[in-house]
Amino acid sequence: SSSESPCAIFCRPPLACVSLAEMRPDSRTPSARQASHQTLSSMFSACLRATHVADHVLCCLNQDGYLMMPKRGEPSAKAGFALTLRIGYAPGRDSSGSMLGPFGLGDDVAVSHLEACKGYEPMTWRQGSASASSSSRCPLQPEDGQRFNRPHDFYRARVRVSNGSGGFEEYWCLLSTAADPINRTIENVKVAVDDAVITASYAHRFNEHTARLQAEHEGGSQEGAPVIGLRVCIPVGCYVMGSLAPKVGGSGQALSLALFPFKQVQKFVFNGSEDFTELPQAFFHYCHHISAGGVTIMDIQGTEDEDGDVYIVDPVIIRHAAPSVGNLIGSIVTGAVSSNREGEDRLRFNTWHPRCSQLCKAFDPTRKSAHCRRSWGCATPTCGTGGI
């Protein structure tokens, strides 16, 4: 990093940083520095081609004029997909309801491979993907709010992190980035991260509840027994430190990264048309029940592994505001039984949770095992809020 050493080479696995020219901050304007960066990048790529170093793909050119590239012999990134990130927001906590990545606040992460995974396409449906059919949309979701009307792109990312012993380890992760660069801010990323953190806290209590039920059923103790249930893959917020993939993220922008080794994402609770899967459906009911209707966890999606655990990614929390004094007075004057919000909430619950299972009745015994009646060719659920 010394300005007196224009050709200094610094090695820190898994990256090699090469300074090709002296870049004095006090002697160049930002625009001149950027132009120099682009020139250096072109020169360096030409050098690689001239020397037949085909297996080295540039990772990034950071703001200090350093070119980040994979060391010789390491798997290279695909052309156009290379990022270096720094963790800037990591509030997740380890519990039975969470799965955390090997990232800590302030850690540097190198993305060695990125791919647009077809199996992640269902994740775009909530924000109205252009490729989503009408059956893949959710008409009952709120129309406003950044979690609903700001499209995101999702990538399968192989990332490298230091192992603390001079080497590195690789993990497959889910990378989420706003489609519009103007929305790639750490403030926006925090909203999605916080939704996952809160969902994981509910998942922890849900798993403890189901473990206790299982122990009671088997006549033993739940202490020390493995908890099989739901785990939320909690992402971290990352700043892009360097990039040659502006479609994914440019320098200074923010995105999220979550440990997720799977290639497929399926909808468990979305618009009511998905196949009924007991564990996530019961979890949806549980969260609504213990919050007394104050919280609805929407768009429960992810993967079920071979052991029966369900891994949830990118959940959304719909928070219901308490009625104002004016609303309460209006209800008394008009004799209204329930507000519009309550009616909308009941409709959502009944549509997204078409029937209850035995697991639902264990924590909410007032509910009946549901069945659907046909009305005008549509299935009308008979389970939900309001004792319907």
Contact in structure between 267 and 198 (CB atoms under 8 Å):
no
Q: Tell me the three state secondary structure of residue 107.
A: coil
H-type alpha helices, 130-174: 146-149
State the helix-helix crossing angle for 278-290 and 186-218, rounded to 10 degrees.
Answer: 100
The pTM assigned to this predicted structure is 0.71
Q: What are the backbone dihedrals phi and psi of residue 279, each rounded to the nearest 5 degrees, phi first?
A: -60, -55
Q: What angle do CA 231, 232, 236 make, to 5 degrees?
A: 140
- Of the two residues 216 and 338, the one the predictor is more confident about is 216
Residue 357, pLDDT score: 86
Mean pLDDT rounded to a whole number for the chain:
74
Distance separating alpha carbons of residues 358 and 93, to the nearest angstrom: 30
58-111: pLDDT as tens digits = 344 333 333 444 443 333 333 334 799 999 999 999 999 999 999 999 999 999
Token pair belonging to 128: 């109205």
- Name the β-bridge partners of 153: 177
Decide if pLDDT at 337 tops 50: no
253-303: pLDDT as tens digits = 999 999 999 999 999 999 888 899 999 999 999 999 999 888 899 999 999
Confidence of residue 4 (pLDDT cuts 50, 70, 90): very low
Sign of CA dihedral 373, 378, 382, 386: negative
Distance separating alpha carbons of residues 220 and 233, to the nearest angstrom: 30
Distance of CA 262 to the CA centre of its chain: 13
Q: What spatial distance separates the first Cα and last Cα of the chain, rounded to whole Å?
A: 68
Sign of CA dihedral 309, 275, 204, 233: positive
- Percentage with pLDDT > 70 across the chain: 63
Token pair belonging to 30: 């930002």
